[in-house]
Structure 1
Amino acid sequence: MSDTRKVLTRAAGGAAGAAVLGIGYASLIERNAFTLRETTMPVLEPGASTIRVLHISDLHMTPGQRLKQNWLRELDRLEPDLVVNTGDNLSHPKAVPAVVQALGGLLARPGLFVFGSNDYFAPVPKNPLKYFKKDHKRVLGDPLPWKDLRAAFTERGWLDVTHVRRELEVAGVRIASAGVDDPHLKRDRYDTVAGVPNPLADLRLGLTHSPEPRVLDQFAHDGYDLVLAGHTHGGQLCLPFYGAIVTNCNIDRSRVKGPSKWGAHTQLHVSAGIGTSPWAPARFCCRPEATLLTLIPAPPRKADSGTNHGASTSEAVVS
């Protein structure tokens, strides 16, 4: 064998070994390296009290995922004033008890929720190249027991804001909320909640599973202060120094996770999510996460300056 061929063979072997190690890390380690992200967002009316909102999304639960369930159960120790769940809780027809038990004490706290596609339909194997085509044909799996999950949430006091407006007071903060069904499946009907929310509220809060621009534009047009979404998994498989490769929706890569600004006065927060599809059980440079949002009064409005409008983010691990 020539020296050149030996070099090429060794290089190919090294690349293959690195790929195997990368896949092992992404599927066995990072996928289970659950992280709490903490972000401060100035979105409340001047003079309002500060509140803490726990944003969770994309659990993609199956019954045997003990590490994930135990980690979720510990989040109640954060004692949030409000819990917001932006969908895709299920990945298995028998996962409802696991979700309810994992959320544990969080279900006894004030909560709002909307559902995503994987609350309605089980995930199915997909060609990963389809994620690069934003308008690819959706393939739906078997129906999931979303009605049972909805009943479990609402019986414990969480409010379903799918295509309805709801007002509540949390820790002295008056919240006007509204949500839409999953835009990823084109189930959103914003006209059912359209219009200016209560101007007397301290926070005008919108919920959607997938952060589709057409929905975000409508929330922003009506004057919502903050919109919470999930769905993107933060890109799930990201590249160092580059970030997300795809977003799995029509939002741009710069907004695939975390806080950003949408329009002149609306803030957006996209959760990178806690789980993955069982058919793609890996994360790389994108740890599974929940976010504790500290909402504070916004400064007086002025000319648009900066994408994040003062939002600051940190990261911590809850073990």
Structure 2
Amino acid sequence: MNTVRKSLRAAATAAAVTGALGVAGIGYASIIERNWFRLRRYEIPLLPPGTPRLRVLHLSDAHLTPGRRMLLDWIRGLDAYEPDLVVNTGDSLAHERAVEPFIHALGPLLDRPGVFVYGSNDLFSPQFKNPARYLWRSSREDYNKRKTPDLPWRELGAAMTASGWLDLNNRAERLKAGGLDVAAAGVHDSHIGLDRYDRIAGPTDPDADLRLGVMHSPEPANLDRFTADGYRLLLAGHTHGGQLCLPYYGTLVTNCGIDRRRAWGLSRYGASWLHVSGGLGTSPYAPVRFCCRPEASLLDLVAAAER
């Protein structure tokens, strides 16, 4: 009888400890890590020999809802790093009243050269669903059932273009940044089938100081075409770096066609450099991050060594 009682007490203790650890983990992921923003910094030897340094700030996936004061203040403080060019790879919104606070957070960054594309969540508001479902199915299936956007994506784009930022959704543009000539092109979000690479297809100008390809979701089909057309810096978001990662394993899923090891950070993609941002936010229905802190990135582009 004593043995049975001891076994029951041990089982109860184990259950209590497991429950406490689970609650602590959720609390850490939803309160601490979700608001533990970081700025990643990279130096990329990309520019023509003799070209001065160009500093690019890459923002993505804010998924903003009103009231996220810590996130808004952190974004606004990024102007202190004095980027020469700001690139926003989409999913800025998660609420119909998020445009004004997001534009306010960008603040002085809007006075700098900038470009942007949209993500699916700039058009379609998040919906409640099993937050673990993305582990075995893509969210693309959910968006395929929704036809009419319900978020103010036009107002978002109008506010950024009014400040001089360039809309790269299925467009190619030319701009000056840090005194350098930038040939930039982008596509709308492939995750919801709005990318139209054929509209920008063709070799980019090899004489541009920087040849930049911009997209929300880093789908290999578009990455391959950007690289083949001569774009040598490719920027994307969408993956959230996995959002839920495991120690010593990393990203569980990417929610797109890119492989896990490219879910965030800098890597080579053929002749190009690819940077995928882990992003700044989460869906309001899955407000957690684990082993995957929210981030923006500062890319210092420097002259490549002469061959």
Q: Residues 191-230 of structure 1, C-alpha deviation per residue, up to 9 Å, x if partnerless?
A: 1011110111011100000001111111111121010000
1:138 is displaced (CA, Å) by 1.9
**Does 1:278 pair with 2:284?**
yes
Please list, as runs of the form range in 1=range in 2, the aligned pairs for 1:186-225 lying within 5 A after superposition: 186-225=193-232
Contact (CA 8 Å) 1:44, 1:225: kept in 2 or not?
Answer: no
Structure 2 residues without counterparts, runs of 5 or longer? none
Question: Structure 1 residue aligned with 2:17, among 5, 14, 21?
Answer: 14
Q: Counterparts of 2:174 and 2:162 in 1: how far apart (Å)?
A: 18
Match of 2:103 in 1: 100
Q: Distance in 2 between matches of 1:42 and 1:300?
A: 11
Contact 1:179 1:208 in 2 (8 A): yes
Aligned residue pairs, count:
300
Secondary structure of residue in 1 paired with 2:159: helix
Q: Which amino acid aligns with 1:75?
A: L
Residue 130 of structure 1 and its aligned partner are, at CA, apart by 3.5
Equivalents in 1 of 2:51, 2:204: separation in Å? Answer: 17
Match of 2:185 among 178, 190, 193: 178
Query: Residue 131 of structure 1: CA displacement?
Result: 3.6
Task: Verify: 1:116 aligned to 2:119, yes or no.
Answer: yes
> Match for residue 137 of structure 1?
141
Distance 1:142 1:2, change over 3 A: farther
- TM-score with structure 2 length normalisation? 0.94
Identity %: 54
**1:154-186 C-alpha deviation (Å, 9 max, x unpaired):** 000100111111111212221110000001111
Distance 2:46 2:138 in 1: 31
TM-score (norm 1): 0.91
AA of the residue aligned to 2:287: P
Q: Does 1:290 align with 2:265?
A: no
Give me the whole-angstrom Cα distance separating, in 1, the residues matched to 2:137 and 2:177.
Answer: 41
Q: Work out whether 1:240 is the aligned partner of 2:244.
A: no
Unaligned runs of 5+ in 1: 302-319
What do you get for the CA RMSD once the two structures are aligned?
Answer: 1.4
SS in 1 for 2:302: strand
8 Å contact from structure 1 (residues 134, 250) kept in 2: no
Q: What residue number does 2:34 align with?
A: 31
Q: C-alpha deviations, 1:76-132, integer Å up to 9, x for none?
A: 111100000000000000111000101100011000100000101101122322442
